[in-house]
Amino acid sequence: MTSKALDEVKIGGLGSSRKRVEDDRFIRGKGHYLDDVTLPGMLHMEILRSPLPHARIKSIDTSKAWEIPGVHLVLTGEMMATRNLAWMPTLSYDTQAVLATDKVRFQGQEVACVIADDPYIAKDACEAIDVDYEPLPVIVNPEQSQADGAPVIRDDKDGQASNVIYDWEVGDKAATDRAFARADLISKLELHYPRSHPSPIECCGSVADFNRATSKLTVHLTTQAPHIIRAAVAMVAEIPEHLIRIISPDLGGGFGNKVPIYPGYVCSILASILLERPVKWIEDKTGNLISTGFARDVYLKGEMALRKDGKILGVRMHTDADHGAFFSDAQPSKFKIGLMHSAFAAYDIPAAHLTARGVYTNKAPGGVAYRCSFRVTEAMFFQERMVQEAANDLGIDQAAFRRMNFVADDDFPHRTPFGFLTDSGQYAKCLDVGLKAIDYDKFREEQAEARKRGKLLGLGISTMTEPLGAGNSREYDILGIKMFDSADLKVHMTGKAILRTGAKSQGQGHETTWAQIVAHELGIPAADVVVEEGDTDTAPFGMGTYASRSTPVAGAAVAMVSRKIRAKARKLAAHLLEVSEEDIEWELGRFYVRSAPGRGVTIQECAMAAYSNMPDGMEPGLENTAYYDPPNLTWPFAVYIVTVEVDPVTGVWDVLKTVAVDDCGVRINPMIVEGQIMGGLTEAYAMASMQFITFDADGNCVGSNYMDYLLPSAWETPGFELHSEVVTPCPHHPIGAKGIGECAAVGGPAAFVNAVMDALGGTGVRNIDMPLLPDRVWEALTHGRDVSGAPPIRQE
C-alpha cells in the first residue's frame, strides 16, 4: 500500500458509522410513502369486512351501495369468481379467499369492496351493503380444531375432511429415542408463543394504475418483495410480466407484514383494470391489525435427555401451529414449519427429532416471519426457555450449563442436530463478555441476599445462533422461485455511481450501507453512490428483504458486482499506464504500477477512460450486474442477559439491566447495527411484557387497536448496554458479514422471560406464558402454579 491509498473510514467504507443518508428526507417529512402517491383521476377503495369469524354467506345485497353518488364500482366474491379471482394462491401452496363467496372464516375477512370518488363515500357505501350471514361454530385454537366433530373450516377444499393442514417431521427419531433411553434425567417443558402482529406504523396499501393505451399495469405497493409480487400478479392476473411494474416506495416499517399478497392489492388491481383509472387502497390500523400478517401462535412441547454431569444427549420437540383460516406463511417451501428446526444449533447435541402439525382455525391467516427467519423466533425462544429449565432440573448453574454444551470454536463447520451446517462462532467468548458486563457472580450474591429480605431478583440468559440469509438456491425457494439476490452498479464517467439491488429497505438503512460496501471495494466515496431499490422496471430481479437476508445475500451481490467493476477498471488502468495488467497493483481508490508505485490512476480516472479512452476492442462503459447465490446461510451469534426485580405484591417487574453481545461478523456500519439491536430488543421486551393478539371464545379479535395491542414507547422501554468486541467473520460472505436485523427480536424474549422465571425460583412455578403481564406473574406467585396459554379474556 502506498501513502496515496484512501482512508476507508473517511470515505464512508466498512466500519464507518456514517449517518443514514435516507434520514435526511425522513426527518424532514420528505419521505414518499404509499399514501403520498396521488395520480390524476385517482379513485379510492374501501373494504367491507366480516363481523363474524365463521358464517355461511346466504346473500349479499349491494344495490343500496351502487345508488350512492360517487360510487363507481362494488366488487363481491361472486364478481371476482367470474374472472377466476375469488381465490388466490398463498406463498405456502394453499389458497386464500380474495373476497368471500361461500363462507367467512375469520373476523375481519374481506367480503366486498367499494371504489368511489373519495374514501369517505367508499366507506359509507360499504356500510350500505347488506350481507345475510348464517353463523357457524367457531374454532379459536388447535385443541378445538382437532376435537372430534369439529366443523371443517376449509370445506372449500376437495378432500379436506379435517382441520389439519400438514404433519411434518425432521431429525433422527431412532437416534433420539436411543439418547432418551440412556438419559439420567429428562427435563420437560410446554409453552405457547402467543400470536403477535408486526404492526408497522404505516399500514398496507396499493395504488393500481392500469393504462389501456399501453396495456401497462403500474402498481405502487407496500411490499418488501416487489419482484415476487410482479411474478405472482403475472401468474394470477394473466398479465404479461413485462407489462407489470411494481414500485415499492418508502415503507413505514415492514417487519414481515409486507411480504404476503393481500386481497386489497388484488381488488385494487382488478378495479383499476375495469375502470381504467388509478385506484388507491390503504388500510386503517384496525384493518391492518385484524386481517394482515399475524405471527407466531405456536404451542410447543419439548423434552431434553440429560446426563447428570450436564451433557445434553438429545432433544424432542413437537409443535402445534395455529395458522388461522388460510395457510399463508411466507416460508421456504420445503419446510412446513419454516426453520423451526434451527433450534439448538448453538449446542453440541448428538440427536434431535421434531414433529409439527399445522391446523386451520377461525382466525386471520398467520405465520408471517415477523422480524424473524421463518419461525426462528419460536425456535430460539423455546430452546432458551428449555435450556434454563434443564439447568435448574439438573441443579447446574445456567451459564455453566450453556458453556459446557456449546459447540466449541474449533468444531466448525458443525452439523447441527437437525442437519444445518454452521460455519463459525466464538460462543463461549461472547458469553464471557456478557457475564462480565452484568457482573454475574456479584449479581448472584445480591440475589441471594435480597431473597432473605423478601425481595425477588432474577437473571435471565439467552444465547443463540440463528440462520440468516435464505437461501442458497439448492434448498430455499418461495413458490419455486429460487432464493438468491442481485446488484446492478453503473459507474458514470465522472466517477459517481448508481447502485440498484433486488432487496427493499423498510427502514434498515440500505441506502447508506450498500454505498459503504461499494466504497470498500472500489474506493468511490460512499457519498458518491446513490442507492435505489423497489422499482421492478429498474432494479435487477431479487427476492426482497425479510429474514435479515439483505446483507447476507444482496449485500454480498453488491460486493461481487463491485469486484466485476474493479476487474474492468484494472484493464483500463493498464491501458492508461501503458503496462500489462499483471504489473498493476490495487489499493483503496487507486491502481498503481508495482515497480513504480508513484505512477497510478484513480478509480475515477478509470471511469472517465471507460467512456472516453478505452483500449481497442473493449466494450465501452463501466457497469455490471451480479446475481449472488450464497453457499450457505450466515450464522450470527448473540448473548442477551437481563436482570429484573419482581414485586411480589403486585407481580409488576422492572428491568434492572440488559446486556447484549452480538457477533454478526464484520459490521458495515456499527451505528446502524446498534440501531438494529436496540430496535430488536425493544420488540423482544414488548413480546415478553405486554404484547399479544388474542381472541375471545366467540372468535372476536381482541387487540384490534393500539389501546389493546401495546407498543412500548421510550417511557417504558428499558436501556440496553451493547457489546461489539467479538467479531467472527463469516467464512463464505465476500466481506465477512452476517445478518443482524432480527437477532435481538429473536433471542431477546427468552432473556426477559428467563429473568422473571429466575426471580420466581423456588416457588414451584415452571412457566408463565408470554406476555408476562403483572396479573399473570401475581397469579403464579400467589398460587404457586404455572400460567399457560393465551391470556384469558375474563367474562364478567
Helix (H, G, I), strand (E, B) or coil at 281: strand
Part of the chain binding ligand CDP (CB under 6 A), chosen from 333-341, 352-360, 731-739, 765-773: 731-739
Q: Is 548 in the site for ligand CDP (CB under 6 A)?
A: yes
Cell digits of residue 753: 422471560
CA dihedral 552, 554, 557, 561 (to 10 degrees): -140
Q: Is 734 in the site for ligand CDP (CB under 6 A)?
A: no
Binding mask 340-379 for ligand CDP (x = CB under 6 A): ----------------------------------------
Q: How many CB atoms lie within 10 A of CB 244?
A: 21
Distance CA 87, CA 99 (A): 7
Cell digits of residue 508: 434498515
Helix (H, G, I), strand (E, B) or coil at 620: coil
Residue 228: phi and psi, rounded to 5, are -65, -40
469 neighbors 475 (Cβ within 8 angstroms)? no
Question: Least CB distance from residue 217 to ligand CDP, whole Å?
Answer: 28
Q: Is 737 in the site for ligand CDP (CB under 6 A)?
A: yes
Question: Least CB distance from residue 552 to ligand CDP, whole Å?
Answer: 6
Q: How many CB atoms lie within 10 A of CB 8?
A: 17
Nearest to ligand CDP of 725, 796 (CB atom): 725
Q: Is 673 in the site for ligand CDP (CB under 6 A)?
A: yes
| Binder among 288, 331, 422, 513 for ligand CDP (CB under 6 A) | 513
Q: Which of 20, 371, 549, 766 is an active site residue?
A: 371
Nearest to ligand CDP of 13, 771 (CB atom): 13
> How are beta strands 185-193 and 298-306 bridged, if at all?
antiparallel
Whether a cis peptide bond, with omega within 30° of 0, leads into 471 is: yes
Q: Does the annotation count 590 as an active-site position?
A: no
Q: Which of 113, 204, 267, 372 is an active site residue?
A: 372
Nearest to ligand CDP of 145, 545 (CB atom): 545
Distance CA 233, CA 35 (A): 21
Q: Is 545 in the site for ligand CDP (CB under 6 A)?
A: yes
Nearest to ligand CDP of 507, 600 (CB atom): 507
111 neighbors 101 (Cβ within 8 angstroms)? no
Question: Least CB distance from residue 516 to ligand CDP, whole Å?
Answer: 8
Residue 400: phi and psi, rounded to 5, are -65, -40
Q: How many CB atoms lie within 10 A of CB 600?
A: 21
Q: Is 486 in the site for ligand CDP (CB under 6 A)?
A: no
Question: Least CB distance from residue 674 to ligand CDP, whole Å?
Answer: 10
Cell digits of residue 733: 460472505
| Binder among 227, 549, 568, 776 for ligand CDP (CB under 6 A) | 549
Question: Least CB distance from residue 604 to ligand CDP, whole Å?
Answer: 25
| Binder among 163, 405, 508, 700 for ligand CDP (CB under 6 A) | 508
Question: Least CB distance from residue 739 to ligand CDP, whole Å?
Answer: 4
Residue type, 442: K
| Binder among 668, 688, 701, 790 for ligand CDP (CB under 6 A) | 668
Q: Is 672 in the site for ligand CDP (CB under 6 A)?
A: yes
CA separation, residue 468 to residues 269, 512, 541, 550, 743 (Å): 33, 21, 20, 9, 9
Burial class (CB in 10 A: 0-12, 13-18, 19+), 317: buried
Quick one: CA dihedral 290, 295, 747, 445, positive or negative? positive
Cell digits of residue 613: 479512452
The answer for 757, left when phi > 0, alpha when psi is -120 to 50, beta otherwise, is alpha
Cell digits of residue 395: 441443579
Q: Does the annotation count 371 as an active-site position?
A: yes
Nearest to ligand CDP of 510, 520 (CB atom): 510
Contacts with ligand CDP by CB under 6 A: the residue count is 24
Part of the chain binding ligand CDP (CB under 6 A), chosen from 99-107, 285-293, 550-558, 564-572: 550-558
Part of the chain binding ligand CDP (CB under 6 A), chosen from 207-215, 406-414, 420-428, 542-550: 542-550
Q: Does the annotation count 372 as an active-site position?
A: yes
| Binder among 551, 632, 643, 682 for ligand CDP (CB under 6 A) | 551
Q: Does the annotation count 623 as an active-site position?
A: no
Q: Is 224 in the site for ligand CDP (CB under 6 A)?
A: no
Q: Is 733 in the site for ligand CDP (CB under 6 A)?
A: no
Nearest to ligand CDP of 379, 735 (CB atom): 735
Q: Terminal CA-to-CA distance of the chain, rounded, Å?
A: 77
Distance CA 87, CA 80 (A): 8
Q: Considering only residues 456-485, where is the footprint of ligand CDP by CB under 6 A? A: none
Q: Is 739 in the site for ligand CDP (CB under 6 A)?
A: yes
Sheet hosting strand 103-104, strand order edge to edge: 103-104, 55-61, 130-135
| Binder among 310, 741, 747, 749 for ligand CDP (CB under 6 A) | 741
Q: Is 608 in the site for ligand CDP (CB under 6 A)?
A: no
Distance CA 693, CA 527 (A): 43
**In which element (H, E) is residue 322 found?**
strand 312-322
Cell digits of residue 330: 411466507
Question: Least CB distance from residue 194 to ligand CDP, whole Å?
Answer: 23
Distance CA 231, CA 692 (A): 34
Q: Considering only residues 567-606, where is the footprint of ligand CDP by CB under 6 A? A: none
Question: Least CB distance from residue 329 to ligand CDP, whole Å?
Answer: 18
Q: Which of 742, 743, 766, 776 is an active site residue?
A: 742
Residues lying near ligand CDP in the complex (CB under 6 A) are found at 508-510, 513, 545, 548-551, 555, 664-669, 672-673, 676, 737-741
Which residues are part of the catalytic machinery?
224, 371-372, 742
